[in-house]
Amino acid sequence: MITIKEQSRDFSAVEQYLMTLDNGITSMKDVADNTSIPVTGYIIFEDEKENGEVNEILSIITDAKEVYSCQSATFKRSVKDIVGIMKGEPFSVIKVSGKTKAGRDFINCALDVNSVK
């Protein structure tokens, strides 16, 4: 079951489907580093599996209706921070990743300053 917790704007039913249930969603961990992704909106939702496990997921959608998602708390925080600073202006994010000092993989994003007019 899907429960939308937060969204950056009102989405059509098709956009909601694409961002939550569609099999064509690209996992952010599979996106190459330094890829620029134009963000036209985001949804944070909970996905409850049949076994009761609940995952909080961020999905972002582009103007071409491409959708990228992740569970990374760091990535989610960065997207929300950028959205807050941009105040409705169009922008793109650049996906980055690395390893923590403990050796765990992580993903994050940064504002693509070249995307801002």
Q: What is the pLDDT along the chain (117 residues), one digit of tens a residue?
A: 899 999 999 999 999 999 999 999 999 999 999 999 999 999 999 999 889 899 999 999 999 999 999 999 999 999 999 999 999 899 999 999 998 889 899 999 999 999 997
Residues in a beta bridge with 93: 37, 111
User: Nearest-CA neighbor of 32 among 94, 80, 110?
Assistant: 94
User: Nearest-CA neighbor of 18 among 62, 55, 51, 48?
Assistant: 62
| 48 touches 5 (CB < 8 A) | no
- What domain count does the chain have? 1
Residue recorded with tokens 């995307």: 115
pTM for this entry: 0.92
Q: Find the domain containing 109 and state its range.
A: 2-115
